Amino acid sequence: MMLRKNKRIGDYTVMSRIGSGRYGVCFLARSSDGRQVVLKRFRRRMRRKNRFHEHHEAVILSGLRHPALPQLEGVINDRHGYFFVLEYKAGKSLARWLFDEKKSFSEAEIRDIGTQLFRILEYLESRSVIHGDISISNILYDGEVIALIDFGLARYEGTRGMSFSLDLARTADVLLYLLYSCYGETACGPAGSREERTWRQELPLSREQQEFIGQLLEPDTFGREASDTDATETGATGTGTARRSDGPRPAAAAREIFQRLWPRM
């Protein structure tokens, strides 16, 4: 059943459809007091097939409190379907910025977006949560701040062997998309002349920057590599802070290295 504009769902009025995925469709709606919210309706067929899917998302979201993450405000189950009521986050997805708006992100913007994303991952790690689906489609950007949405695949650490390295690898994919937009033809060459090359060959990155992204892309290796790098730098300069066994978790270590390799200009 398609929900038309001005359709009433509980105490909310549907304004427009704003996105869809494998498990459901999202609508922008207005509450009775005028606030904008998102109504996420689960597809009936997928809900029957994956009856515990929404349970994970609801439990995880209800335990998170962060300005860059949508709050779960309630659940509606009526003849129109089963809905989550989610806090509305402003901005366009990075996918829309890149492919619809044809935006070229500057190095300064990439640094800000990357830093914000790593800080969000630090928070999720502190709650033992793995998002599981970080992508340019699930990151909103309003020109200044980002928001991370769609926790449909989120799980607690250790569930089905999932680890934080999954989110770090997906974050590296996001950074690569942004870097390609930044360097444009410098990376890809003129239209029609692109050869089969790897991102290491195409993007004008330093050796350290390449190694950093490469480490993020390798499952379960970043924490070990970051620790080895910290130890080397500490021994070489005598001024570093030794990484303790209970030292920075992967996202915090990644953010520190990222900010060093992409300094503010």
Length of the chain: 265
Residue 99 has a CB neighbour count (10 Å cut-off) of 13
Q: How many Cα atoms are found within 13 Å in the side-chain-facing hemisphere of 171?
A: 31
**Alpha helix locations (H) across 7-148?**
44-49, 53-62, 94-95, 107-126
What distance in Å separates the CA atoms of residue 16 and residue 50, rounded to the nearest whole number?
26
- Note whether 20 and 26 are within 8 A (CB): yes
Residues acting as catalytic residues: 133
Q: Give the position of tokens 């769902």.
A: 9
* Listed residue (41, 62, 264, 26) closest to 156, CA to CA: 62
- Residue 218 carries which side chain, given as an amino acid letter? E
What distance in Å separates the CA atoms of residue 121 and residue 223, rounded to the nearest whole number?
14
Angle at 123 between CA 117 and CA 127, to 5 degrees: 140
* Listed residue (110, 255, 108) closest to 178, CA to CA: 110
Residue 60 has a CB neighbour count (10 Å cut-off) of 21
